[in-house]
Amino acid sequence: MEDLQALLDDIHTTLSARDDKGKVATYIPELARIDPAHFGIAVIGVDGTEYMAGDAELPFSIQSVSKVFTLTLALGKHGDSLWNRVGREPSGTAFNSIVQLEFEKGRPRNPFINAGAIAVTDLILSGHKPREAIGEIVNFVRFLSGDDTITTDQAVAKSENATGFRNFALAQFMRSFDRLDHPAEHTLGVYFHQCALAMSCRQLAHAGLYLAANGRNPVSGSSVVSRERARRINALMMMCGHYDGSGEFAYRVGLPGKSGVGGGILAVAPGKASIAVWAPGLNDYGNSLLGTAALEILAKRTGWSVF
Protein backbone atom coordinates (compact mmCIF):
# COMPACT_ATOMS: atom_id res chain seq x y z
CA MET A 1 0.00 0.00 0.00
CA GLU A 2 1.23 3.46 -0.81
CA ASP A 3 2.15 5.97 1.88
CA LEU A 4 -1.10 7.01 3.58
CA GLN A 5 -0.09 10.62 4.27
CA ALA A 6 0.93 11.13 0.65
CA LEU A 7 -2.37 9.58 -0.43
CA LEU A 8 -4.41 11.97 1.74
CA ASP A 9 -2.42 14.95 0.44
CA ASP A 10 -3.10 13.78 -3.08
CA ILE A 11 -6.83 13.31 -2.43
CA HIS A 12 -6.99 16.79 -0.89
CA THR A 13 -5.21 18.44 -3.81
CA THR A 14 -7.19 16.57 -6.46
CA LEU A 15 -10.62 17.15 -4.96
CA SER A 16 -10.07 20.76 -3.91
CA ALA A 17 -9.43 21.54 -7.57
CA ARG A 18 -12.81 20.16 -8.67
CA ASP A 19 -15.33 22.74 -9.83
CA ASP A 20 -18.42 20.72 -9.01
CA LYS A 21 -18.48 20.67 -5.23
CA GLY A 22 -22.23 20.00 -4.80
CA LYS A 23 -24.60 22.29 -2.91
CA VAL A 24 -24.49 23.14 0.78
CA ALA A 25 -27.69 22.39 2.73
CA THR A 26 -29.90 25.46 2.92
CA TYR A 27 -32.92 24.15 4.81
CA ILE A 28 -31.03 24.78 8.05
CA PRO A 29 -30.23 28.51 7.63
CA GLU A 30 -27.05 28.37 9.71
CA LEU A 31 -25.59 25.65 7.44
CA ALA A 32 -26.28 27.70 4.31
CA ARG A 33 -23.50 30.09 5.37
CA ILE A 34 -20.71 27.50 5.20
CA ASP A 35 -18.10 27.90 2.46
CA PRO A 36 -18.32 24.88 0.09
CA ALA A 37 -14.58 25.14 -0.53
CA HIS A 38 -13.72 23.50 2.79
CA PHE A 39 -12.24 20.04 2.58
CA GLY A 40 -10.78 17.97 5.40
CA ILE A 41 -9.89 14.34 5.91
CA ALA A 42 -8.53 12.39 8.88
CA VAL A 43 -7.61 8.73 9.10
CA ILE A 44 -6.80 7.19 12.48
CA GLY A 45 -5.31 3.71 12.28
CA VAL A 46 -6.27 1.08 14.86
CA ASP A 47 -2.77 1.53 16.27
CA GLY A 48 -3.67 5.18 16.97
CA THR A 49 -1.55 6.70 14.20
CA GLU A 50 -3.09 9.87 12.76
CA TYR A 51 -3.02 11.02 9.15
CA MET A 52 -4.67 14.27 8.12
CA ALA A 53 -5.02 16.66 5.21
CA GLY A 54 -6.82 19.95 4.53
CA ASP A 55 -9.23 21.37 7.14
CA ALA A 56 -8.99 18.25 9.27
CA GLU A 57 -8.90 20.18 12.53
CA LEU A 58 -11.67 22.66 11.81
CA PRO A 59 -14.94 21.86 13.62
CA PHE A 60 -18.09 21.50 11.49
CA SER A 61 -21.67 20.52 12.19
CA ILE A 62 -21.74 16.72 12.31
CA GLN A 63 -25.54 16.56 11.93
CA SER A 64 -26.68 13.00 11.16
CA VAL A 65 -23.29 11.45 11.86
CA SER A 66 -24.34 11.93 15.51
CA LYS A 67 -26.95 9.21 14.98
CA VAL A 68 -24.23 6.55 15.18
CA PHE A 69 -23.25 7.78 18.63
CA THR A 70 -26.80 8.16 19.95
CA LEU A 71 -27.62 4.67 18.69
CA THR A 72 -24.57 3.34 20.53
CA LEU A 73 -25.56 5.21 23.70
CA ALA A 74 -29.21 4.13 23.55
CA LEU A 75 -28.27 0.47 22.93
CA GLY A 76 -26.08 0.67 26.02
CA LYS A 77 -28.99 1.97 28.09
CA HIS A 78 -31.87 -0.06 26.66
CA GLY A 79 -30.26 -3.06 24.99
CA ASP A 80 -32.07 -4.86 22.21
CA SER A 81 -35.48 -3.62 23.40
CA LEU A 82 -34.56 -0.54 21.36
CA TRP A 83 -35.56 -2.52 18.28
CA ASN A 84 -39.19 -2.45 19.40
CA ARG A 85 -39.14 1.25 18.50
CA VAL A 86 -37.16 1.20 15.30
CA GLY A 87 -36.34 -1.29 12.53
CA ARG A 88 -33.13 -2.35 10.82
CA GLU A 89 -34.09 -2.13 7.17
CA PRO A 90 -32.82 0.29 4.55
CA SER A 91 -35.51 2.86 3.83
CA GLY A 92 -35.07 3.63 0.14
CA THR A 93 -36.49 7.05 0.93
CA ALA A 94 -34.99 10.43 1.78
CA PHE A 95 -33.62 11.08 5.25
CA ASN A 96 -36.58 13.26 6.21
CA SER A 97 -39.32 11.29 4.46
CA ILE A 98 -42.63 10.64 6.21
CA VAL A 99 -44.31 8.24 3.73
CA GLN A 100 -43.36 4.90 5.25
CA LEU A 101 -44.25 5.91 8.79
CA GLU A 102 -47.98 5.50 8.30
CA PHE A 103 -47.72 2.05 6.71
CA GLU A 104 -45.38 0.94 9.45
CA LYS A 105 -47.51 2.38 12.25
CA GLY A 106 -45.01 4.88 13.52
CA ARG A 107 -42.04 2.45 13.74
CA PRO A 108 -39.33 3.99 11.56
CA ARG A 109 -37.40 1.71 9.24
CA ASN A 110 -33.98 2.28 10.77
CA PRO A 111 -32.18 4.40 13.39
CA PHE A 112 -30.45 6.65 10.85
CA ILE A 113 -33.35 8.25 8.96
CA ASN A 114 -34.61 11.27 10.87
CA ALA A 115 -37.71 9.53 12.25
CA GLY A 116 -35.63 6.61 13.54
CA ALA A 117 -33.02 8.85 15.09
CA ILE A 118 -35.73 10.90 16.81
CA ALA A 119 -37.16 7.65 18.25
CA VAL A 120 -33.67 6.71 19.53
CA THR A 121 -33.17 10.15 21.08
CA ASP A 122 -36.57 9.82 22.78
CA LEU A 123 -35.20 6.69 24.51
CA ILE A 124 -32.09 8.54 25.68
CA LEU A 125 -34.40 11.18 27.17
CA SER A 126 -36.09 8.59 29.46
CA GLY A 127 -35.75 9.65 33.09
CA HIS A 128 -34.00 12.89 32.17
CA LYS A 129 -34.76 16.51 31.55
CA PRO A 130 -33.80 17.56 27.98
CA ARG A 131 -30.82 19.53 29.30
CA GLU A 132 -29.48 16.44 31.09
CA ALA A 133 -29.93 14.24 28.03
CA ILE A 134 -28.00 16.76 25.92
CA GLY A 135 -25.24 16.72 28.54
CA GLU A 136 -25.17 12.93 28.49
CA ILE A 137 -24.78 12.84 24.69
CA VAL A 138 -22.05 15.51 24.69
CA ASN A 139 -20.19 13.67 27.45
CA PHE A 140 -20.48 10.38 25.60
CA VAL A 141 -19.04 11.86 22.41
CA ARG A 142 -16.23 13.47 24.44
CA PHE A 143 -15.51 10.07 25.99
CA LEU A 144 -15.51 8.37 22.58
CA SER A 145 -13.12 10.84 21.04
CA GLY A 146 -11.01 11.42 24.18
CA ASP A 147 -11.49 15.16 23.77
CA ASP A 148 -13.23 17.28 26.41
CA THR A 149 -13.40 20.38 24.25
CA ILE A 150 -16.19 19.07 21.99
CA THR A 151 -19.39 21.06 22.28
CA THR A 152 -22.63 21.87 20.46
CA ASP A 153 -23.01 24.90 18.23
CA GLN A 154 -25.94 26.74 19.81
CA ALA A 155 -26.59 28.87 16.72
CA VAL A 156 -27.06 25.72 14.60
CA ALA A 157 -29.34 24.08 17.20
CA LYS A 158 -31.44 27.25 17.42
CA SER A 159 -31.56 27.62 13.66
CA GLU A 160 -32.90 24.10 13.26
CA ASN A 161 -35.35 24.44 16.12
CA ALA A 162 -36.84 27.45 14.35
CA THR A 163 -37.15 25.76 10.96
CA GLY A 164 -37.37 22.00 11.62
CA PHE A 165 -41.04 21.73 10.66
CA ARG A 166 -40.61 18.32 9.06
CA ASN A 167 -38.96 16.89 12.11
CA PHE A 168 -41.82 18.22 14.24
CA ALA A 169 -44.24 16.55 11.83
CA LEU A 170 -42.34 13.24 12.09
CA ALA A 171 -42.24 13.39 15.88
CA GLN A 172 -45.93 14.28 16.26
CA PHE A 173 -46.86 11.54 13.82
CA MET A 174 -44.90 8.95 15.82
CA ARG A 175 -46.51 10.23 18.99
CA SER A 176 -49.93 9.63 17.47
CA PHE A 177 -48.95 5.93 17.34
CA ASP A 178 -47.66 6.05 20.94
CA ARG A 179 -44.13 5.54 19.70
CA LEU A 180 -42.59 8.50 21.55
CA ASP A 181 -42.68 8.89 25.33
CA HIS A 182 -41.99 12.62 25.47
CA PRO A 183 -43.45 15.80 24.00
CA ALA A 184 -42.06 16.52 20.53
CA GLU A 185 -40.48 19.79 21.71
CA HIS A 186 -38.46 17.94 24.36
CA THR A 187 -37.28 15.10 22.15
CA LEU A 188 -36.47 17.43 19.28
CA GLY A 189 -34.73 19.88 21.60
CA VAL A 190 -32.28 17.08 22.38
CA TYR A 191 -32.14 15.84 18.78
CA PHE A 192 -31.32 19.29 17.38
CA HIS A 193 -28.48 19.64 19.89
CA GLN A 194 -26.97 16.25 19.04
CA CYS A 195 -27.09 17.20 15.35
CA ALA A 196 -25.44 20.54 16.21
CA LEU A 197 -22.36 18.88 17.74
CA ALA A 198 -19.35 20.64 16.25
CA MET A 199 -16.40 18.33 15.61
CA SER A 200 -13.36 18.26 13.39
CA CYS A 201 -12.50 15.32 11.15
CA ARG A 202 -9.77 14.42 13.61
CA GLN A 203 -12.18 14.36 16.57
CA LEU A 204 -14.79 12.48 14.56
CA ALA A 205 -12.34 9.82 13.37
CA HIS A 206 -11.22 9.31 16.97
CA ALA A 207 -14.83 9.03 18.10
CA GLY A 208 -15.47 6.30 15.50
CA LEU A 209 -12.37 4.29 16.28
CA TYR A 210 -14.25 1.77 18.48
CA LEU A 211 -16.16 0.67 15.38
CA ALA A 212 -12.91 -0.14 13.57
CA ALA A 213 -11.41 -1.97 16.54
CA ASN A 214 -14.00 -4.51 17.72
CA GLY A 215 -15.78 -2.14 20.09
CA ARG A 216 -12.72 -0.95 21.99
CA ASN A 217 -11.01 2.40 21.59
CA PRO A 218 -7.35 1.41 21.19
CA VAL A 219 -6.11 4.93 22.00
CA SER A 220 -7.87 5.33 25.35
CA GLY A 221 -8.06 1.60 26.06
CA SER A 222 -11.78 1.97 26.90
CA SER A 223 -14.28 -0.71 26.01
CA VAL A 224 -17.24 0.99 24.36
CA VAL A 225 -19.37 -1.90 23.07
CA SER A 226 -18.95 -5.64 22.55
CA ARG A 227 -17.35 -6.92 19.36
CA GLU A 228 -20.75 -8.21 18.27
CA ARG A 229 -22.41 -4.84 18.77
CA ALA A 230 -19.66 -3.03 16.89
CA ARG A 231 -20.21 -5.38 13.96
CA ARG A 232 -23.95 -4.79 14.06
CA ILE A 233 -23.62 -1.00 14.15
CA ASN A 234 -21.27 -1.25 11.16
CA ALA A 235 -23.84 -3.41 9.35
CA LEU A 236 -26.50 -0.76 9.93
CA MET A 237 -24.16 1.95 8.68
CA MET A 238 -23.51 -0.06 5.55
CA MET A 239 -27.19 -0.67 4.82
CA CYS A 240 -28.72 2.60 6.00
CA GLY A 241 -25.98 5.18 6.66
CA HIS A 242 -26.52 7.08 3.40
CA TYR A 243 -30.32 6.83 3.19
CA ASP A 244 -31.53 6.18 -0.36
CA GLY A 245 -27.92 6.62 -1.49
CA SER A 246 -26.69 3.69 0.65
CA GLY A 247 -26.48 1.22 -2.22
CA GLU A 248 -24.44 3.64 -4.30
CA PHE A 249 -22.10 4.34 -1.37
CA ALA A 250 -21.59 0.61 -0.73
CA TYR A 251 -20.92 0.07 -4.44
CA ARG A 252 -18.42 2.90 -4.74
CA VAL A 253 -16.73 2.80 -1.32
CA GLY A 254 -17.43 -0.64 0.16
CA LEU A 255 -17.13 0.48 3.77
CA PRO A 256 -19.74 1.21 6.46
CA GLY A 257 -20.36 4.95 6.53
CA LYS A 258 -22.62 7.57 8.04
CA SER A 259 -23.21 10.93 6.45
CA GLY A 260 -24.56 14.24 7.70
CA VAL A 261 -25.98 17.27 5.89
CA GLY A 262 -23.13 19.35 7.26
CA GLY A 263 -21.03 17.48 4.67
CA GLY A 264 -19.31 15.10 7.07
CA ILE A 265 -18.95 11.34 6.61
CA LEU A 266 -17.63 8.85 9.14
CA ALA A 267 -16.42 5.65 7.49
CA VAL A 268 -15.07 2.52 9.11
CA ALA A 269 -12.48 0.12 7.75
CA PRO A 270 -12.79 -2.71 10.31
CA GLY A 271 -9.43 -3.81 11.67
CA LYS A 272 -7.70 -0.98 9.79
CA ALA A 273 -8.85 2.56 10.52
CA SER A 274 -11.56 5.08 11.28
CA ILE A 275 -11.94 7.78 8.64
CA ALA A 276 -13.70 11.15 8.75
CA VAL A 277 -14.06 13.43 5.80
CA TRP A 278 -15.72 16.84 5.47
CA ALA A 279 -16.73 18.66 2.30
CA PRO A 280 -19.91 20.75 2.80
CA GLY A 281 -21.32 20.47 -0.76
CA LEU A 282 -23.91 17.71 -1.04
CA ASN A 283 -25.18 15.40 -3.79
CA ASP A 284 -28.86 14.87 -4.59
CA TYR A 285 -29.29 12.44 -1.67
CA GLY A 286 -27.98 14.96 0.86
CA ASN A 287 -24.61 13.21 1.27
CA SER A 288 -21.24 14.93 0.80
CA LEU A 289 -20.33 14.91 -2.90
CA LEU A 290 -16.57 15.28 -2.55
CA GLY A 291 -16.54 13.35 0.74
CA THR A 292 -17.89 10.32 -1.07
CA ALA A 293 -15.40 10.83 -3.90
CA ALA A 294 -12.56 11.05 -1.36
CA LEU A 295 -13.60 7.81 0.31
CA GLU A 296 -13.92 6.10 -3.05
CA ILE A 297 -10.33 7.02 -3.93
CA LEU A 298 -9.07 6.11 -0.46
CA ALA A 299 -10.76 2.69 -0.52
CA LYS A 300 -9.50 1.95 -4.00
CA ARG A 301 -5.90 2.94 -3.35
CA THR A 302 -5.64 1.26 0.10
CA GLY A 303 -7.65 -1.80 -0.90
CA TRP A 304 -9.77 -1.34 2.24
CA SER A 305 -13.18 -2.97 1.84
CA VAL A 306 -15.48 -5.19 3.84
CA PHE A 307 -16.08 -7.28 0.72
Binding-site residue ranges for substrate: 64, 114, 160, 167, 191, 243, 261
> What span, in angstroms and rounded, lies between the C-alpha atoms of 254 and 272?
14
Nearer to ligand DON, 89 or 284 (CB): 284
Site string for ligand DON, 162-181 (x = CB under 6 A): -----x--------------
- CA dihedral 102→163→236→82, nearest 10 degrees, is -60
Does residue 261 belong to the site contacting ligand DON (CB under 6 A)?
Answer: yes
What is the distance between the alpha carbons of residues 299 and 254, in angstroms, rounded to a whole number? 7
Query: By rule CB under 6 A, what count of residues binds ligand DON?
Result: 13
* Residue from 43, 141, 261, 268 carrying the catalytic annotation: 261
Residue with nearest beta carbon to ligand DON: 64
Question: Which residue type occupies 73?
Answer: L
How many angstroms from the chain centroid is the CA of residue 41? Answer: 15
Q: How far is the CB of 294 from ligand DON (least distance, A)?
A: 16
The residue from 61, 64, 145, 259 that is catalytic is: 64
Q: What 3-state class would DSSP assign to 50?
A: strand
Q: How many whole angstroms separate alpha carbon 217 and alpha carbon 244?
A: 30
Lay out the site mask for ligand DON across 101-140 (x = CB under 6 A, - = otherwise): -------------x--------------------------
CA dihedral 73, 136, 166, 88 (to 10 degrees): 0
Catalytic residue from among 43, 61, 66, 67:
67
Neighbours of 283 (CB within 10 A): 19
The CA-based angle 17-34-137, given to 5 degrees, is 120
C-beta separation of 110 from 240 below 8 A: yes
Among 15, 46, 56, 63, binds ligand DON (CB under 6 A): 63
Q: Answer for the pair 90, 113: CB distance below 8 angstroms, yes or no.
A: no
Q: Does 31 bind ligand DON (CB under 6 A)?
A: no
Annotated active-site residue 243? The verdict is: yes
Give the span between the Cα atoms of 33 and 22, in whole angstroms: 14
Q: Which of 159, 190, 224, 243 is catalytic?
A: 243
72 contacts ligand DON (rule: CB under 6 A): no
User: Looking at beta carbons only, is 64 or 234 nearer to ligand DON?
Assistant: 64
d(CA 209, CA 204): 9
| List 30, 55, 122, 160, residue binding ligand DON (CB under 6 A) | 160
167: helix, strand or coil? helix
The closest of 275, 15, 30, 305 to 164, measured between CA atoms, is 30
258 is annotated as an active-site residue? no
Instruction: Please tell me whether residue 249 binds ligand DON under the rule CB under 6 A.
Output: no
By CB under 6 A, residue 259 contacts ligand DON: yes
Quote the least distance from Cβ 188 to ligand DON, whole Å: 9
Least distance from ligand DON to the Cβ atom of residue 296, Å: 17
Report the chain's terminal Cα–Cα distance, integer Å.
18
Q: Is 67 a catalytic residue?
A: yes
**Residues contributing to the site for ligand DON (CB under 6 A):** 63-64, 95-96, 114, 160, 167, 195, 259-261, 286-287
Q: Catalytic residues, which ones?
A: 64, 67, 191, 243, 261
